[in-house]
Amino acid sequence: MFAGKRILMLQGPVGPFFRRFAQDLEALDAKVFKVNFNGGDWLFFPSGAIAYKGGLAEWPEFLRNVLETWQIDIVILYGDCRPVHETVFKLQDTFRLDVYTFEEGYIRPDYITLEKGRANGYSSLPRNPIAYLNGPDIAAPDCTRIGYSFRHLALWGGLYHMAAALLRPVFPCHTYHRGIGLRELRPQLRSYWRKALYAWRDRGRLAQFKAALSGRYFLVPLQVNLDSQIKRHSDFSSDGMEGFILHVLESFARNAPEDVRLVFKHHPMDRGYHDYSRFIRKQARRLDLQGRVIYVHDLHLPTLINHARGVIVVNSTVGLSAILHGKPVKTCGKALYDMAGLTAPVGLDAFWRQAEDFIPDKNLVRRYNATVIRRTQINGNFYKRLPNTPLRCGLNLNRRRTAAPGTGVSESATAFPDDNQAGTG
C-alpha cells in the first residue's frame, strides 16, 4: 500500500524507527519526506528532513504548503492526538490524503498498531459484537516472540530529550504534546531509583496474591496520567488518575463484598512522575477501607490478573489482556473492546457483586482477537531491530498465516509476556 507513493512522515516514536522505516519504504520506490519539530526528531532523522521552527498557530499553513508542494499521497504519524498530528486529519479530505497511524500494540508485547485513519478511541474497528460473530471465522496468524524492549526505549528516550534540550535554540517553539528536554530527564532518572525502592517494598507480596488472596481481590491497573487515552477517551480528563482512583474507591466502599480487597497497580511508565500512595491512604481512611486497599508497583502483572476476581480499567490494553485470559472486565472509559460478551455491561456499582456473571465469551474473544490482529496489528516493535527479517525497522512481515493448534488464536497473542509491563497502554 506504500509502494511508489509520495509519503510524508511527521513525528514517530522516540528512536530510529521512522528513519529505518523510511529506508524500507524507499526500497519499494516510495518517495519519503519528513518534518522535524525539535532536536530529538533531528537526532534520529538528521538528513533528508525539513526543520519546522514555528509554533502551533503557524503549523496548519506550513503543512498546507508542504502537502501541496511535495504532492503528498500518504501521511504517516505516531499518535493521532498530538497537536501537530490532529491538523492532518482536518486537511485530509481537502488534499485527498490517506493517513496511517502508528501506535503501541493493542495486543502486547509482540505487536505494534498500524491503522488507516485514527487509532484507539477513534479507531474504525467495529464496536458491535455482531460484526465479529457474523463475520468470517478467520484465524490469527502466528508471530515471532518480541517481548518488551524497555532498555532500548529508555536509551532512545534519554537521547531524544537530551538532543531536544541542546538544540532548543534551533527549535525555539514548543510543539511537543508533553514536556520535553531536561524537564523530562529528571522524572526518567527518578524512575530508576524508584523502581529499586518499590521492588524492595513489594518483596514477598506476590506470594500473597497467588495464595491467601487468590480470587479475593479486584485489580485496578492505573494508566499514564497524561496519556491521550485518559485525556481524550475518558471522563477523567480534568482530574486524571486521582479522579479515577477516587471513583473506584467510593464505588468499592459502597458496594463491594466485605471479604474482598482492592488492588491498585501503578503504571511502570508513570513511575517517575507520580506516586499515589498518600492519596490512596487518605481516601481509604476517609472511606473506612483501612486494610482492604493495596497499592503495588512492579509486581508481575500477568500473575495479578490470573488471580484476580475481576479487573477494572479506564480503557487500558490490560483490559484486553484480561479478556483474552477469561477474566471479567469493567471499563470506565471509551475502550475498543468494550462490548457485550467481552466486558461487563453493568455499572461499576453492580460489578463488584456480579463480576463472575460476565466471564468473556470464548467464541467472541477468539474472533475479536483474530480480527484485531489481522486488521490493525503488525508483529514487531518500535525500538529494536529483529533478526532474520529483511526490514530494517523492527517489523516482522514473514509471519505464517496459521494459528495455534486447536485454538484459532496465535499463542503469542494470548500468552502473557514474562515482563511486568504487560499491557501497559
According to DSSP, residue 359 is labeled P
Q: Going by DSSP bridges, is the β-strand pair 31-36/50-51 parallel, antiparallel, or unpaired?
A: parallel
345 pLDDT band, cuts 50/70/90, is very high
Q: What is the predicted pLDDT for the residue at 411?
A: 38
End-to-end CA distance of the chain: 27
Chain centroid to CA 31: 29
Averaged confidence pLDDT in the chain: 90
Residue found by looking up cell 512522515 in the block? 9
Choose the weakest-confidence range: 227-236, 261-270, 314-323.
227-236
According to DSSP, residue 270 is labeled G
Q: What is the predicted pLDDT for the residue at 222?
A: 96
Residue 300 CB: number of other CB atoms within 10 A?
17
Helix then strand then coil, % of the chain, to nearest 5? 40, 15, 50
Measured N-to-C along each axis, helices 317-324 and 362-376 cross at an angle, to the nearest 10 degrees, of: 130
Residue 405 CB: number of other CB atoms within 10 A?
7
SS3 340: strand
What is the signed CA dihedral for 311, 314, 318, 319, rounded to 10 degrees? Answer: 60
Q: What is the predicted pLDDT for the residue at 77?
A: 98
Per domain, the residue ranges of the chain are 209-367
Choose the weakest-confidence range: 13-22, 360-369, 403-412.
403-412
Per the CB < 8 A criterion, the answer to whether 188 and 272 are in contact is yes
Burial track 51-66 (b if 16+ CB lie within 10 A, e otherwise): ebeeeeeebeebbeeb
Per the CB < 8 A criterion, the answer to whether 352 and 252 are in contact is yes
Q: What is the predicted pLDDT for the residue at 44?
A: 98
Cα separation, 237 vs 227, whole angstroms: 10
Measure Cα distances from 394 to 20, 282, 319 in Å. Answer: 8, 45, 26
Contacts of 152 (CB under 8 A, 6+ apart): 15, 383, 384
Q: What is the predicted pLDDT for the residue at 255?
A: 98
According to DSSP, residue 356 is labeled G
> What is the maximal distance between C-alpha atoms in the chain?
66
**Domain 209-367 -> CATH class:** alpha beta
Cα separation, 113 vs 412, whole angstroms: 15
Per the CB < 8 A criterion, the answer to whether 283 and 299 are in contact is no
Please give the angle made by the CA atoms of 248, 254 and 259, to the nearest 5 degrees: 90
Q: What is the predicted pLDDT for the residue at 400?
A: 41
The strand order across the sheet containing 74-78 reads 50-51, 31-36, 6-9, 74-78, 98-104, 111-116, 377-379
Residue 401 has pLDDT above 70, yes or no: no
Residue 289 has pLDDT above 60, yes or no: yes
Residue 424 has pLDDT above 50, yes or no: no
| DSSP per-residue string spanning 91-114 | HTTTTT-EEEEEEE-SSTTTEEEE
Phi, psi of 113 (to 5 degrees): -100, 135
Cα separation, 416 vs 110, whole angstroms: 10
Choose the weakest-confidence range: 45-59, 70-84, 188-202, 334-348.
188-202
Average pLDDT over residues 307-314: 98
Return the C-alpha cell found at 322: 484480561
Average pLDDT over residues 379-391: 91
Cα separation, 377 vs 79, whole angstroms: 15
Residue 202 CB: number of other CB atoms within 10 A?
15
Per the CB < 8 A criterion, the answer to whether 51 and 171 are in contact is yes
398 pLDDT band, cuts 50/70/90, is low
179 pLDDT band, cuts 50/70/90, is confident
Tell me the percentage of the chain whose pLDDT exceeds 70. 93
Tell me the percentage of the chain whose pLDDT exceeds 90. 75
Residue 417 has pLDDT above 60, yes or no: no
> Tens of pLDDT along 49-92?
999 999 999 999 999 999 999 999 999 999 999 999 999 999 99
272 pLDDT band, cuts 50/70/90, is confident
Residue found by looking up cell 482530574 in the block? 239
Measure Cα distances from 382 to 44, 146, 284, 337 in Å. Answer: 13, 11, 40, 24
Per the CB < 8 A criterion, the answer to whether 261 and 294 are in contact is yes
> Tens of pLDDT along 117-168?
999 999 999 999 999 999 889 888 888 888 877 789 889 988 999 999 999 9
